[in-house]
Amino acid sequence: MTAVLTERTPRVAAARKLLRRASRLEAGRFLVEGVRPVHDALTWAEEGPGRVHDLFLTDAVADRDPTLEDRAIAAGVRVARVTEKAAAGLSDTVTPQGVAVVCSTVTVGLDAALGEHPRLVTVLAGVADPGNAGTVIRTSDAAGADAVVLAGDSRNQPVDPHNGKCVRATMGSLFHLPLAVARDVDAVVAALRERGLTLLAAAGDGETVLDASADPLLAAPTAWLFGSEAHGLDDDTTRLADHRVRVPIHGRAESLNLATAAAVCLYASARAHH
Amino acid sequence: MTAVLTERTPRVAAARKLLRRASRLEAGRFLVEGVRPVHDALTWAEEGPGRVHDLFLTDAVADRDPTLEDRAIAAGVRVARVTEKAAAGLSDTVTPQGVAVVCSTVTVGLDAALGEHPRLVTVLAGVADPGNAGTVIRTSDAAGADAVVLAGDSRNQPVDPHNGKCVRATMGSLFHLPLAVARDVDAVVAALRERGLTLLAAAGDGETVLDASADPLLAAPTAWLFGSEAHGLDDDTTRLADHRVRVPIHGRAESLNLATAAAVCLYASARAHH
């Protein structure tokens, strides 16, 4: 057995820095922690070389789940045992699980993410909460979306999908479909238009109601635009869409939250497409 | 202006105890905090006498939003100014807003909640996270459900909808539709059967797929059963349902989270009913 690394070991210290957005951007790497998410990352590593660089785990985790080290080694990932304290330092949760991997960032350029003929694309414009973004990435994956684009708006910069909270909320979907980050929503809209997509803006006061009457509209290749939790889509972004669509409210609720509204919209498209 | 109450004033100290579930059960009262939620509670107070008992607010909040005191007084709610510290003590958030009301608990008996001819009912069986429960209550309201029942299962006792996190997640829907808490899911199922409802269990491995082919099934009056975040519905509960229904997964996600799955299911019913 090789030495157990502490939080002061340069490799561990370098990995720890990836908890910060600026360091992730600079390094082009991010951290994935927890047994289940690390397994998701290792599956991703098996599908393409050089995607996952380091596995750090405590003796206790290695004893409990020997497949972690086995899979990592088979996928060409460097493996190191670390102290409990070092493992905790690689976590931004209150209950660190004692295992983390350093991965290359998953995002690709906008054109690469969209491909040539996307049928269903999710655009988050100004969504600020990483947990919400992660949940919508997971739902987009489940609904069969071809890509998710994280864009900024006039108020918020795009959320970083490599944020720990976002990674956890995606439950592995981060590795399943192409993601792009784009500061400028206008460029995103242009790229979607180029591909002939119908642009639907989710808006609580939209003129188009998302019920059976919307089925013909939904049958076309579609990009959904979702705005921030607090303010929805800003006016400039909404104006770029072909239709402003509202999920009907049958009771007395004022609105749905972002993740549930997105689930209803994306599954309405999935229903129309399948 | 009357005296400003501190955290040691008996009324404030009594209200503070309502942050604990046992105290809420004993008193039949709960706390609602924050400007927007308090306004929702005051609307509820206006619709029925004796529902809201005390409004506690800081001078700063009263200055910023004078309608809070005006509405409370008009609705027969006792009003008291409190210190910032006292207001913070009535909050279970990290950023207390300086305003809270003491309300009578909103839950009613199972038969009262269901009424005679419900068309759409949500049953949460063993859901443990108050935030998830609150989100599903909000979505149920939006989808036009007639009632939400919070039931236990073999692993978890029912969540208390008066928990602060749940109250916030409902965004006022707590006050919009009848809620019942029932320890025993068998009794809930019996009450649903008595009313002729079709029982649909949401299950990731269900035989019935929630796509257009399910429309005839969904047209009937329906109760949806949703299980816990971690384990889904337990086998005993699932066996009580008429159909095990799965939201189709078109991509590579393993599942949806509870709140998004519930949104897709409830809106599929809403679509079939409207």
Q: What is the pLDDT of residue B267?
A: 98
- Give the number of A-B residue pairs with CB atoms closer than 8 Å: 115
d(CA B254, CA B185): 27
Task: Tell me what ipTM this predicted complex has.
Answer: 0.94
Q: What is the pLDDT of residue B153?
A: 83
**pLDDT tens by residue, B101-125:** 999 999 999 999 999 999 999 999 9
Of A142, A211, A255, the CB nearest to B271: A211
User: One-letter amino acid identity for A77?
Assistant: V
pLDDT band at A3 (very low <50, low <70, confident <90, very high): confident
User: One-letter amino acid identity for A16?
Assistant: R
Average pLDDT value for chain A: 95
Are B255 and A171 inside 8 Å of each other by CB?
yes
pLDDT band at B36 (very low <50, low <70, confident <90, very high): very high
pLDDT band at B156 (very low <50, low <70, confident <90, very high): confident
Average pLDDT value for chain B: 95
d(CA A139, CA A61): 30
Of B144, B249, B264, the CB nearest to A264: B264
pLDDT band at A153 (very low <50, low <70, confident <90, very high): confident
Q: Is the pLDDT of residue A1 over 60?
A: no
Contact with chain A for residue B267, Cβ under 8 A: yes
SS3 A82: strand
d(CA B136, CA B152): 16
Contact with chain B for residue A215, Cβ under 8 A: no
Report CA-CA distances (Å) from B177 to B25, B154, B243.
Answer: 20, 27, 26
For residue A213, the chain B residue with the least C-alpha distance is B271
Of B139, B250, B251, the CB nearest to A256: B139
State what percent of residues in chain B have pLDDT above 90. Answer: 93
Q: What is the pLDDT of residue B1?
A: 53
State what percent of residues in chain B have pLDDT above 70. Answer: 99
Residue numbers in B near A270 (CB within 8 A): 248, 250
* B41 vs A231, more confident: B41
Q: Is the pLDDT of residue A133 over 80?
A: yes
Of B251, B261, B267, the CB nearest to A176: B251
**pLDDT tens by residue, A213-249:** 999 999 999 999 999 988 899 998 999 999 999 999 9
Report, as an integer, the average pLDDT of B21-27. Answer: 96
Full set of structural domains in chain B with CATH? 10-104 (3.30.1330.30), 110-273 (3.40.1280.10)
Of A211, A248, A263, the CB nearest to B260: A263
Q: Which of A94, A249, A250, A265 is the best residue to mutate to test the B interface, defined by the most B CB atoms within 10 Å of its own CB?
A: A250
Are A254 and B172 inside 8 Å of each other by CB?
yes
Q: Cα-atom radius of gyration of chain A, to the nearest Å?
A: 20
Q: What is the pLDDT of residue A256?
A: 96
Instruction: List, edge to edge, every strand of the sheet that includes B208-209.
Output: B179-182, B147-151, B120-125, B222-226, B198-202, B243-246, B208-209
**pLDDT tens by residue, A94-130:** 899 999 999 999 999 999 999 999 999 999 999 999 9
| B55 touches B99 (CB < 8 A) | yes
* A153 vs B47, more confident: B47
Contact with chain B for residue A250, Cβ under 8 A: yes
Contact with chain B for residue A94, Cβ under 8 A: no
Q: What is the pLDDT of residue A155?
A: 83
